[in-house]
A = this chain, B = another copy of it.
Amino acid sequence: MDSQFDLAQTAPIPIAVGRTCGAHDCDRCDVRDRAICADLDSPQRASLNRLGRRLTVKAGQTVMWEGEESTLVANVIDGTLKLSTSTGDGREQIVGVVYASDFIGRPFGARTPHSVTALTDARLCLYPRGAFDGFAREHPSLEHRLLRRTLDDLDRTRSWLLLLGRKNARGKAATFLLDMRRRVRADEEGVIELPLSRQQVADVLGLTIETVSRQMSEMKRMGVIALHGRRGVRIVDAAWLESMAEGD
């Protein structure tokens, strides 16, 4: 149901092919004070760093597959990735979108419950799961950050249940745009560059690409938003959008 884009690009690329480089300098890391390692002191960060490695992935590459053994976890240094699952007959649902400083993978568990695929080129800080688990158990401040982050993820995911279960297409599209406004920085003219294609937006919202397109077009016609090319959106009337998100 997702485009051939993903299938074509991800199938032949095992994770080892991503470009890895040796240790990097954690003290100068871009996401140092937002990632889960933020509360570690410099020597602790260094020893965590020794467990892992950097990985650069290109847009479209899949880093982890749904249902496979959970062997890796990672911090996102840079870029945007999607978490997704599929039904037996191939319909896809995106269950999360992660950004710089977010954490991916399944610590303390045998299987990765969803696939992780890069939406943009991305840089990761990759750790073997077993080693990470051990390190985490010995560093409560790390586990604490991970716990808070997981609790936040859970809250956000549960609010998405309300969207998928009870909102109509209009409300879904409006909620999505408001969420993007919070998560993606706009340019000087207030235009947000969506990290997702129309199909991927549909996969987030539990809709078809046609319905998403129709909703966007109609909101544009109404003057709530303006569209700039395929990925650009400018929110013209945020209050109106908010009322739509609640279902009017």
Residues on A facing B (Cβ under 8 Å): 83, 85-89, 91-93, 95-96, 106-109, 113-114, 137, 140, 143-144, 146-148, 150-155, 157-162, 164-167, 171, 205-206, 246-248
Contact = CB atoms under 8 A, between A and B. Distances in A.
A139 B157 CA distance: 27
A93 B87 CA distance: 22
Contact of A106 (B87, B151, B205, B246): B151
Given A113-B155, A154-B150, A158-B95, A206 B88 contact: no
24 contacts: A83-B158, A85-B158, A87-B166, A87-B246, A87-B247, A89-B247, A93-B165, A95-B158, A95-B161, A95-B162, A106-B151, A108-B147, A108-B151, A109-B151, A137-B144, A140-B140, A140-B143, A147-B147, A150-B151, A154-B157, A157-B158, A157-B161, A165-B206, A166-B206
Interface centre among A87, A93, A96, A166 (most CB of B within 10 A): A166
A147 B36 CA distance: 14
A165 B205 contact: yes
A153 B151 CA distance: 10
A113 B159 contact: yes
Contacts of A159: 85, 113
Interface centre among A93, A107, A109, A162 (most CB of B within 10 A): A162
Top 7 closest A-B pairs, CB basis?
A165-B206, A164-B164, A88-B246, A140-B140, A95-B158, A93-B162, A91-B166
